[in-house]
Structure 1
């Protein structure tokens, strides 16, 4: 019988087959490359490991001991990457100032990190995460800035999305961050060197721990709450439950961390969206494997177009997709991933732990909920809102009528919760926090407000009833609202109820 090289014990036939399969599926060279990619590029003492940084280390050991201890425990510290390697600045840079005998910047940007981690920088640079600061020109930001207040946006929205960093331009504090714009580790932070993002959004300074970055709690800083409760959905899912129970088996500090190879208990957010699995390598482009967009009022499947400039953009399903070599957005298309390609990449990770029937079944359930939300609620409401605006029943300005707030929460809060719940196997968020609240607020908040808006202008509700007849009545799912629960539906409910609680229990 063949022997296992690691421990020289006879290998079982099943174990030998499994080992051969993993080598074929994952590819040993790919695993080695993945492990090497974790290490900083260049040569110590040449590209990093500046010996002048030892003075920084010696001083901070007493001046800020916790900072020093975190750095010293990190891979940076153990590899000899010093403070100066990351914080050194150049004369003339807006964020540069003299500190002791060195010119430094407090802010370390992704472009700084790219000197050693260029692959990760390139993957992140054109991604949706890097563009998260674009919220500054969105309805979300208008709501925060105008209805709430800029202080709330600064300490709230921008701490996740990122904001533009500003710096003192004169006086003794020249080059230091302007109070208010700093601290900020928003994932789409706009940096003084033109780069976007913050590596420390996920890799908390100064440990920069990959184990910490792989935990769901890291993503949960921002992906939480009424409009995007991925953290809460994950925690109630079977994945989250098993992860918490078996976290000691997750091998979070593994060099390569391949799902199904280095760990098998459960996935984290990083597993599905970033990390390596059977047949697929890791990426710092967190949105690459996403086939639906669940953010807008109406969801669409999305194709990904990558450009020679390093940027990328999505093309909704049904819209023309440029071909490789075409000019687009001032650059040239170098790669196209259709929504099916993106989904296939996600499925490759799933195959590390699941069979085809589970994966296909999950996506059938997920697609079904998104289609239900789109077709039964989002599309007809959006069509009615457009007609109200077009015919002058509501103004072009957002958020100045109650019906607009109700529609906003239906899609931005309840609708997103339902879609995210289905995407990550969270039943409570799919139904009670999701479609149930979408339905309740559609029928008993939004429709009464529609009648009120029309009555206010016309003195009657005829146009409101005509809009509902046009956009809602043709949809079978709304039959109950117009005609009441039919006898068959009621009898079905009664039979189930009485079977559980006894005859006559449902009056």
Structure 2
């Protein structure tokens, strides 16, 4: 751990060969070592000096050396500077370093899913990037047996890499540069503050901007930035963001701004009743990442997070407190009725039956994951379309909820998944796997004969037929005059 040494009385920083790292209180004046850093870097990388010059760190006299100083024995420490005046520094300023001044913020971040994002490295997603999409031909000193360029340039840049320090103290190029939110740092800490507070200005305004979150929260499986842009919140932000005062120190909805919320407002920001939090999971009442949506305390328990003891009702209250800055209680409560209805629809009609069908199909499939067509069909059903529908509903994005969500789920469930299951049954019978084929057929028949799916067999119930007939008649009576 990098050390902090401040002379009692005059608050002068020690500037000997002892590493100072982060400071625990703003210094009285800029250190001579940091002055030397800026004088040199102005010549060859002036941009970062100017960014730092615009930052609150600069105004607080916290300079280069206060953050980058290292101790003898630090894994990533190396000598840097003019000959005869070298100092031990490290390139990476980890959350553990930031915690010297920002202890509460770092503690909250470390207890969140963000800090655990690099655990994807052993997941199904990374199997795709490492094997199905990639190969092992990206060879570096840290990975002499090779790695996949698809994983390095894709997955790791959002989720975070495990930074490897080479024998000469340099950082392996497969793992650095990297600002992934769950980066595993050489000092053992998890996370990257610069994922949101980019070097070297560390702007709070930037961290509050939805575009910052959009670096990772976008695309076919979690299009949060696209959903936000489609929503009323995003439309208001785009048209009136100049009125938000996003650079203010105090930034409370309903007091300091009321035009539109950003991602930060809802998931992290202060309210009249809550402080800012860097644990982005404390206001979420559903975890929509897995095939079947679960309550957040369930997933937190699996990850060993302290928030496993905070139930979803409390988290929903936290979010509704944010909503109440601009919306009535009836508006907020009715939104959650709509949202819960979509989650229940997805879980019961597609997710749970899909899991059951895939389990029954497994004996008839080739054992290698993603060597079967149906592997991709099911993966995209829950990982892409299923997530889009659920996330769209959670953030009031109707087009993504429906046309990019539930419509595509239904189309692919009925025209891709079921035909492929039927193909597996036929193939199983022909290859002598009659028992497994029979079990899958019975499972499929049972599911298709439930109220959710029997329309597919031409067995829509009389009640459903009457509801559809009455809706058509009501529509014509009202609009066809």
- Give the whole-Å Cα distance in 1 for the aligned partners of 2:480 and 2:334: 35
1:323: which partner in 2? none
Q: Return the offset for 1:477.
A: 2.3
Q: Residue 163 of structure 2 is aligned with which of 137, 161, 165? A: 165
- Give the whole-Å Cα distance in 1 for the aligned partners of 2:390 and 2:359: 23
- Give the whole-Å Cα distance in 2 for the aligned partners of 1:98 and 1:41: 20
- Give the whole-Å Cα distance in 2 for the aligned partners of 1:373 and 1:43: 51
Q: Return the offset for 1:500.
A: 8.7
1:282: which partner in 2? 276
Aligned pairs for 1:31-180 within 5 A: 42-45=24-27, 49-100=30-81, 101-149=86-134, 150-169=148-167, 174-180=168-174
Aligned pairs for 1:322-471 within 5 A: 336-389=309-362, 392-459=363-430, 464-471=440-447
2:178: which partner in 1? 184
When structure 1 is superposed on structure 2, of 175-184 and 231-240 the one drifting more is 175-184
Q: Residue 479 of structure 1 is aligned with which of 454, 457, 464? A: 454
- Give the whole-Å Cα distance in 2 for the aligned partners of 1:45 and 1:356: 47
2:189: which partner in 1? 195
**For the aligned residues, what is the CA RMSD?**
2.3
Q: Return the offset for 1:56.
A: 0.4
* Partner deviation per Cα, 1:256-276 (whole Å, 9 max, x = no partner): 211211110111001111011
Q: Return the offset for 1:202.
A: 0.3
Q: Return the offset for 1:137.
A: 1.0
- Give the whole-Å Cα distance in 1 for the aligned partners of 2:307 and 2:317: 20
- Give the whole-Å Cα distance in 2 for the aligned partners of 1:298 and 1:179: 37
> Given that residues 106 and 176 in structure 1 are in contact (C-alpha distance below 8 angstroms), is that contact kept between their aligned partners in structure 2?
no
Structure-2 change in CA distance of 1:441 and 1:335 (3 Å): closer
* Partner deviation per Cα, 1:412-462 (whole Å, 9 max, x = no partner): 000000000000000001100000000000000100000001111113976
Which SS does the other structure have where 1:90 is aligned? coil
Which SS does the other structure have where 1:98 is aligned? strand
> Given that residues 41 and 117 in structure 1 are in contact (C-alpha distance below 8 angstroms), is that contact kept between their aligned partners in structure 2?
no
- Give the whole-Å Cα distance in 2 for the aligned partners of 1:302 and 1:60: 46
- Give the whole-Å Cα distance in 1 for the aligned partners of 2:371 and 2:401: 30
Q: Return the offset for 1:492.
A: 4.7
2:261: which partner in 1? 267
Structure-2 change in CA distance of 1:206 and 1:431 (3 Å): same
> Given that residues 415 and 435 in structure 1 are in contact (C-alpha distance below 8 angstroms), is that contact kept between their aligned partners in structure 2?
yes
Which SS does the other structure have where 1:184 is aligned? coil
Structure-2 change in CA distance of 1:143 and 1:277 (3 Å): same
> Given that residues 290 and 342 in structure 1 are in contact (C-alpha distance below 8 angstroms), is that contact kept between their aligned partners in structure 2?
yes
> Given that residues 361 and 440 in structure 2 are in contact (C-alpha distance below 8 angstroms), is that contact kept between their aligned partners in structure 1?
no
When structure 1 is superposed on structure 2, of 347-356 and 423-432 the one drifting more is 347-356
Aligned pairs for 1:221-300 within 5 A: 221-300=215-294
- Give the whole-Å Cα distance in 2 for the aligned partners of 1:351 and 1:41: 38
Aligned pairs for 1:300-311 within 5 A: 300-303=294-297
- Give the whole-Å Cα distance in 1 for the aligned partners of 2:247 and 2:187: 32
> Given that residues 454 and 463 in structure 1 are in contact (C-alpha distance below 8 angstroms), is that contact kept between their aligned partners in structure 2?
no
1:314: which partner in 2? 300
- Give the whole-Å Cα distance in 1 for the aligned partners of 2:228 and 2:307: 35
* Partner deviation per Cα, 1:317-344 (whole Å, 9 max, x = no partner): xxxxxxxxxxx96x9x798211111111
- Give the whole-Å Cα distance in 1 for the aligned partners of 2:429 and 2:214: 48
> Given that residues 360 and 440 in structure 2 are in contact (C-alpha distance below 8 angstroms), is that contact kept between their aligned partners in structure 1?
no
Which SS does the other structure have where 1:247 is aligned? helix
Which SS does the other structure have where 1:259 is aligned? coil
Which SS does the other structure have where 2:109 is aligned? helix
Q: Return the offset for 1:86.
A: 0.8
The two structures have a TM-score, normalised by structure 2, of: 0.85
Which SS does the other structure have where 1:156 is aligned? helix
Which SS does the other structure have where 1:300 is aligned? coil
Structure-2 change in CA distance of 1:497 and 1:440 (3 Å): farther
The two structures have a TM-score, normalised by structure 1, of: 0.81
Structure 1 gap ranges (5+) = 1-39, 305-312, 317-327
Structure 2 gap ranges (5+) = 1-21, 135-147
